[in-house]
Amino acid sequence: MNGTVAEWDPERTVDAAEAAVLVHERFPALAGAPVEPLAAGWDNTVFLVGGEWVFRFPRRTIAVPGVEREIAYLPRLAPSLPLPVPVPELTGRLPGDPAWPFWGARHLPGRELVDAGLPDERRVAAARATGAFLRALHDPGLAGRAGAGLPHDPIDRGHPGVRAPMARERLERLARQGLWEPDTATAALLAEGERVGPSTAEPVVCHGDLHPRHLLVDADGRAAGVIDWGDLCLADPAVDLSLAYSAFSGPARSALLAAYGPVNAERELRARVLAVFLCASLAEYAASVGHREMLRETLAGLRRAVGG
């Protein structure tokens, strides 16, 4: 944070009334369809339109290129993936600002994993499906077929030497709020991560920001979809495998890794460090906005990231 301004504070927002005008005028087939707030995050505000369409509007300038990538790449990637992903079909730009895009896709039913309240022992099915999904996404052939032109890990998510110090700063802030207690296992993991350089692995297509908010599950705890692809990029697979360590443990993690395939020690380290960073970031955000379920899940994710 900088003073009283949080890094997730929006630069501009589209509320439900404005979204209704934009959608109804741009897409006459949806004229009169109800527009309901569905979700909001650091970078985007999302509305459910007519119970069938999800419309996504960026909140910060930094998110605009990601929205453009979603529009360009998700239709190419979706046919190769074993879980549903949003496929932008309806696209537009804000009046008076053609650089500010938005899109609509068919609604994917399910709840964010952070809201599902699933105990770890009931996550095996979701984990297994997630492992198969990541195996398909990280297929080297997919990078050539559908990923050409994507940026290469533009914010160094796969570089523990960059992310470990950032994670430590966030954890210190959480500790000052009384939300997290420093422990030797986390300190050792981050210290080890700081000694690791950039990845030299062949990059694959990565979601880029795969944490428990972006995995949807159904009422039975099965994986139902993967959302929010604004950080889509080419990167070391560890960037997405961080989810194995932030969202799953024990038999569930084993099921994910069995479905995915071998992960060597260096890749595991990269994934675990990123898992700590992402969970700490989300915990800060959740505490700031009063999202208790997210805070509970991400603090648990910090423990998973350094555990078995």
Measured in whole angstroms, the distance separating CA 69 from the mean position of its chain's CA atoms is: 15
Task: Residue count of the chain, please give it.
Answer: 308
Residue 140 has pLDDT above 90, yes or no: yes
| CATH of the domain spanning 111-306, picked from 1.20.1250.20, 3.40.367.20, 3.90.1200.10, 2.60.40.10 | 3.90.1200.10
Q: Which of 3-7, 18-22, 46-50, 133-137 has the lowest mean pLDDT?
A: 3-7
Higher pLDDT, 148 or 53: 53
- Tens of pLDDT along 240-292? 999 999 999 999 999 999 999 999 999 999 999 999 999 999 999 999 989 99
How does 250-271 read in b/e, with b if 16+ C-beta sit within 10 Å?
eebbbbbbebbeebeeebebbb
State the pLDDT at residue 2.
45
State the pLDDT at residue 42.
77
CA–CA separation, 116 and 220 (whole Å): 10
223-226/215-217 β-pairing: antiparallel
Mean pLDDT of the residues in the chain = 94
- Tens of pLDDT along 88-138? 999 999 887 778 899 999 999 999 999 999 999 999 999 999 999 999 999
- Tens of pLDDT along 216-231? 999 999 999 999 999 9
Q: What are phi and psi of 69, to 5 degrees?
A: -65, -40
For domain 16-106, the CATH architecture is 2-Layer Sandwich (3.30)
Residue 28 has pLDDT above 90, yes or no: yes
Strand intervals (E) in the chain: 35-40, 44-49, 53-58, 90-94, 97-106, 111-112, 204-206, 215-217, 223-226, 233-235
Q: Which of 43-47, 166-170, 186-190 has the lowest mean pLDDT?
A: 43-47
- Tens of pLDDT along 54-63? 999 998 888 8
Q: Indicate whether this model's pTM tops 0.85.
A: yes
Residue ranges per structural domain of the chain = 16-106, 111-306
Residue 171 has pLDDT above 50, yes or no: yes
